[in-house]
Structures are given as C-alpha cells and as structure tokens.
Structure 1
Amino acid sequence: MTSLRATAVTAAACAAVIATATTSSAINSYNATPAPERTEVGALVATWDNDGNPATPDRVDWVCSGTMIDADTFLTAAHCTTDWPENVRFYVSLDQDVQAGLDAAAERHPGDPAAQARAVAVEGTAHNHPGYPGPASDTRDISVVQLPAEKVKSRWSFTPATLPTADQLGALGPRGLNSTDWVVAGYGTQEAARGPGGHTHPGGGVRMKAPVTFDALNDAWVRLAMTAPQGNGGACYGDSGGPNFATLGGKRVLAATTITGDGPCYATNVVYRLDTPGARAFLAPFVKLP
C-alpha cells in the first residue's frame, strides 16, 4: 500500500496523481495483503470542477483513506479536505475495491460524476481542524467527515475503530512502542516503480494492509519504519488519513493517521498521534473519547 505522502502536496494534486494510477493492489506491494476484514477503513471520494464551470462537477475520484470512528464519523487528514475548488463535495466508501466500483459506475453513468460517486459512496460534510496548517511540530493535519448514519448502515456493516486513551502512546514510551505490533491500512498506490518515463506509483483504490515497526515518538508524531528487509510494508500516495493500528493491551487501537513520508514510499511513514491533547480536543465534539 502506498500512502498519500503529502504534507506539502495539496489534495487536488494528490487526486491528479491517483487519477493516473492503474487498478491493482496497493499499499507497498512488498509484504502487503488485502484487508477485506478491515471494514471500518474507507476511501475518501471527491467530486469537483475541473473546467472552469462550477455549476456542475466534472471530475470524480477517490483521493485519500480514513477510518470510521463511530456510526457517522469518518476520520481522515486535513490536507485531504482542503485546497479544493469551491464546489467540491466529499463522499465516503467502505467498499473493498473502490476503484473497480468507480470504473463500473462510469460505464453506467457516463458524464455524471455525482451519480458515479453516489454509486460507491455516501456523501458527507468535512470539518477540518481550525488550526490547520500548524507548525511542523504539530501541523494539526486532522479532519472528519460527518455522514448520515442510517445511509452508511444500510450499505455497510462495520465496527468503529477504537481510539487511544489520553497520552496512551506517551505513557508506553519508545521502549513499549518498540515491542508493539503495528499495521497500516489504506487504499493508496504502490512504492515507486522505475519505467521509461521515470518513477511512477502504480495501483491504488483497493483496501490493503501491511506491517510496520516503531521508529520514533514525538509530541504530535510517530515515525514508523516500512523497510522491506525487516518484513515491513508501508503507506504511499492515497493512504493519507488512513489508520495506523497498534495492538495495545491486547486491543487493536487506532493510534495514528498517515500524513507523510519519503517520496518513493520505501522507508518511513510519518503518522499523526490521536492520543494528544490537541487531537482529542478536535475530536471531542464529534465522537465519544475513551
């Protein structure tokens, strides 16, 4: 799986990258497997104007990853839901293969991006952290999409992810986190592949998972190693906002969300902690915190 490595990449630019990808499995192709059981993990889908006529959308694509944290709240990254044309509309899909769904919908609804989006996803309203973008020490790169719970329930069955308790990662510290099992999930592209035209990032649009290992802990960030020789996979373009699960006290916890990393998607996944006072303060109006 490969993640949207993108603190400096706008959501629109990420969408452009994804639109050129072929349909195949994603997240780093090494040490990655499909994740049909991770039904709480979804894709952020957007429709937007691309021809200067904002009256109607003329583009649709999946653009990021994310996670359902209760019946009507989808957690993702703020850079996924900002810097769009004014008429952007956001949807969430919990399908295992959202790219195949969009391809099929394009055949059924040619020239109608809104209908294509509705065929695979449920429309919602994005709420970005008001302090985004913040300083490098804490960019506040977090957002949620509020969804109509009944519509989501009528289409998919899932158990919302468990959020961490206050300072749960900090209390464990590097030593405890180093012995913790970590898994990243998302819909992103694969690591860089060399070709006649230079580096490309194939794949994307399919929910995948891969093991990662702890590297470093900062006030707002966790750095996770995605190096293949150690048995790791990792995240890449399209995985931004997606979950990084840690097994803490025998429970799978949504510890952090993918934000950025190295450009080729070979080495490091930099993820935003969800146990910090800032992240919890942002999430509190939308979800019951543990």
Structure 2
Amino acid sequence: MRTATVAAAVVAFAAVTAAPAFAVNTYNATPAPERTEVGALVATWDNDANPATPDRVDWVCSGTMVDRDTFLTAAHCTTDWPSNVKFYVSLLQDVQSALDTAVGTPAQKAAAVGVQGVAHSDPAYPGTSAAPHDIAVVELPAAQVAARWSFTPATLPTAGRLDALGPQGLDDTGFTAVGYGTQESQRGPGGQTHPGGGVRMKATLGFNALNNNWLRLSMIESQGYGGVCYGDSGGPNFATVNGKRVLVATTITGDAPCYATNVAYRLDSPAARSFLAPFVTLP
C-alpha cells in the first residue's frame, strides 16, 4: 500500500493506467474482509479518438467511507483525467475479480462493481511538498450505497490528535494501513514489476516521524511491519487511540520500490479539516 508525488525521492500511489498504481505488501500483510468501510475508487475514461464513449475502466486508488455518502481519498487520484472521466466507489473485498468477470461496456462494468459519485478535490491541490492539500472526497447517493453494502463509517480524528499523543504516545501507538494496492517491487525477466492489486489488504506499520501535514510510518519487513504500494493512495491509516480505531491519515506517497516508508496525509491538520468540513461532521 504505497503512494507518491511529494518529493523527488517518492512516488504517488495511485493505480490508474494513466498514472501509477500500487497495493499492500506481500510480507506481514493479510486480507481485510472485515474493513467494510474501506473501498476502491473505480474510474471510466476515454482512451481513443472518440471521447464521446468511455472505453476504459479500472480501479485506480483506495479510500474510506467517512459517513453514509462520503468516500475519502487523495486528490491525485481524482485530478488530471480526461474530461469524460466518471468515478465509482466499490466496497467489494476483491474488486479486480469483480471487474474481470463483469460484462458489457466500461460504464456497465463499473456500475456492476460500484456506485457512481461526484468527486471534489481540494482546490489548493497540488500545493507544496510541505502543504500538499492532497485530499478529495467522492459524494455518493446514500440510498444506493446502503442498498449494496453494510458498513460503519470510519471515525475521523479531533483537531491535533496526533500532536496530543506526544513522542512516546506515537511510538506506542499501533497503526494499520488498508488498501487495494499492488505488491512491493519484484524482479523478473522483464525487469522490476509491481504485481497484484485490487484486493483489500491490511498491514501493521510503526511510527517514524510527524510534522504539520505528514505522518511517516515504517513498513520495514525485518521490524515486523508491512506496508503500502501503488493503488493504496487515498487509503486509510488507522491508529488505536484510547482503545478506539481512528482514521488519522490517508496514504499519499512513499519509496518507489514500496519497502520502507508510507507517507500519509494527516486528517487532524487544519488544512484537512478545513477541506472536509463542508462534507462531513467533524469531531
């Protein structure tokens, strides 16, 4: 579960054919069928000389339902698309298999696995490396979502919640990343590849560093951690705070091979809360 676009040494973790794509590592990671509030962002778009008819469909990123009709993801997942792009959200455990077996046009396949919504990206994106504003939501018809899936929306953090934990509290906190991304870099006859993706996975990560907008988490295998990769962009990073699971950050970037660090956008920051306020009730 990894993502990138912040610094020269990192890579955005979106999983589109028009952009990068990733998933949770093979090491120290397990399926996450119980995380029913975590979903995949699916897109249809044009890829030929006839823009009137979308001819591509694929899952492109990860994200989380933060209320009954709001799917939280990353802005780099919802921007820089052809004008006829349409977004869908799927809460299926295995989105890739569902797309593989769906029949019909790209729009019909997308509708078979997900619910169509309207994306809203932070207008300040891409911002700067220190203040990236890399956050977006997809607003969905609540009745359609409820008719297809049962889930409990994720709990967002209060303002400055990670700061309040302090250095020792952050070191002692358990972090879990969830997403649909690809696997870490693997060498093969054709060079390095990132296989897999499209299945909801989870992994435990360790605290590395914190600043105003970024939470950095270690996913080093020898330390017992797993992590994220391409396609995990926009996906949740949960922390257990006072015995409760809280969605504290979203995966944005990391190292290109997907072995070392998950760089996640803090949701307890003023910038993130300012963007989210019109769409959800903040704690």
**Partner AA of 1:285 in structure 2:** P
Question: How much has 1:173 moved relative to structure 2?
Answer: 2.4
Output the CA distance in 1 between the equivalents of 2:217 and 2:120: 27
**Partner AA of 1:171 in structure 2:** A
Residue number in structure 2 paired with 1:245: 238
- 1:138 paired with 2:127, answer no
Three-state SS of the structure 2 residue aligned to 1:173 is helix
Residue number in structure 1 paired with 2:260: 267
Residue number in structure 2 paired with 1:3: 2
Question: How much has 1:145 moved relative to structure 2?
Answer: 0.2
Question: How much has 1:4 moved relative to structure 2?
Answer: 3.5
Question: How much has 1:135 moved relative to structure 2?
Answer: 1.0
Q: Is the 1:7–1:79 contact (alpha carbons within 8 Å) kept by the matching residues of 2? A: no
Residue number in structure 1 paired with 2:163: 170
Residue number in structure 2 paired with 1:92: 89
Residue number in structure 1 paired with 2:143: 150
Q: Is the 1:173–1:217 contact (alpha carbons within 8 Å) kept by the matching residues of 2? A: no
> Which segments of 5 or more consecutive residues in structure 1 lack a partner in the other structure?
none
Q: 1:134 to 1:177 in 2, by over 3 A?
A: same
Q: How do 1:193-212 residues align onto structure 2 when only pairs under 5 Å count?
A: 193-212=186-205
The two structures have a TM-score, normalised by structure 1, of: 0.93
Residue number in structure 2 paired with 1:276: 269
The two structures have a TM-score, normalised by structure 2, of: 0.95
Q: 1:64 to 1:7 in 2, by over 3 A?
A: farther
Deviation per residue, 1:24-58 (Å, 9 max, x gap):
xx510000000000000000000000003110100
Residue number in structure 1 paired with 2:76: 79
Q: Is the 1:32–1:209 contact (alpha carbons within 8 Å) kept by the matching residues of 2? A: yes
Question: How much has 1:171 moved relative to structure 2?
Answer: 1.2
Question: How much has 1:16 moved relative to structure 2?
Answer: 1.8
Q: Is the 1:191–1:264 contact (alpha carbons within 8 Å) kept by the matching residues of 2? A: yes
**Partner AA of 1:241 in structure 2:** G
**Partner AA of 1:145 in structure 2:** V
Output the CA distance in 2 between the equivalents of 1:187 and 1:41: 9
How large is the Cα RMSD of the aligned pairs? 1.7
- 1:37 paired with 2:40, answer no
> Which segments of 5 or more consecutive residues in structure 2 lack a partner in the other structure?
none
Share of identical aligned residues, percent? 69
Three-state SS of the structure 1 residue aligned to 2:16 is helix
Three-state SS of the structure 1 residue aligned to 2:17 is helix
Q: Is the 1:4–1:14 contact (alpha carbons within 8 Å) kept by the matching residues of 2? A: no
Question: How much has 1:7 moved relative to structure 2?
Answer: 4.4
Q: Is the 1:18–1:238 contact (alpha carbons within 8 Å) kept by the matching residues of 2? A: no
**Partner AA of 1:5 in structure 2:** A
Residue number in structure 2 paired with 1:61: 58
Output the CA distance in 2 between the equivalents of 1:226 and 1:162: 23
**Partner AA of 1:15 in structure 2:** V
Question: How much has 1:18 moved relative to structure 2?
Answer: 8.6
- 1:236 paired with 2:229, answer yes
Question: How much has 1:192 moved relative to structure 2?
Answer: 0.3
Deviation per residue, 1:48-84 (Å, 9 max, x gap):
0000311010000000000000000000000000000
- 1:16 paired with 2:30, answer no
Question: How much has 1:174 moved relative to structure 2?
Answer: 2.5
Three-state SS of the structure 2 residue aligned to 1:131 is coil
